[in-house]
Amino acid sequence: MNAAIPLCASSDLLESAQAIPFDVTYCGQICRGFAIRFEGQAHAYLNRCTHVPMEMDYQANRIFDDSGQWLMCATHGATYAPGTGDCVGGPCRGRLVKIELSEIAGVVHWHTSSKLQPLEFTHE
């Protein structure tokens, strides 16, 4: 069963604003994830561009472009749809790795999966 890990207060995720970063273990590697709010909905992805697997922000936690309508990788300009993570322009392939979120009683939670675990998780 997938666990729900508290991430932040719902009020911390502002519309098309700075991302809330968090660390995860994805397929055995330590990675950074980020959560954003777009069109009223909370979304989260691995902070890893599909063009070159590096973090996308060009200033700390800034992943939206200047218009606030697209997620953009600062390195090569790959652009993604905030609601789906789909590549919509520039040098990218496919979509960002989505991290399931839920909002319960004013708190945003991210959900584990077989590939996505908290940092302290280890396989026995």
Mean pLDDT to the nearest integer, 89-106: 94
Any domain includes 81: yes
Given a cut of 50, whether residue 5 has pLDDT beyond it is: yes
CA torsion angle for 35, 26, 118, 56 (degrees, to 10)? -30
Which carries the bigger pLDDT value, residue 122 or residue 54?
54
| Cα 109 from Cα 57, distance rounded (Å) | 22
Give the tens place of pLDDT for each residue, 58-71: 788 999 999 999 99
Would residue 110 count as lying in a domain? Answer: yes
Q: How many CB atoms lie within 10 A of CB 38?
A: 20
- Report yes or no on 123 lying in a domain: no
| Prediction pTM value | 0.92
The parent domain of residue 13 ranges over 4-117
- Return the CATH number at 88: 2.102.10.10
**Structural domains of the chain, count:** 1
Smallest CA-to-CA distance from 14 within 45, 29, 35 is with 35
pLDDT class of 124 with cuts at 50, 70, 90: very low
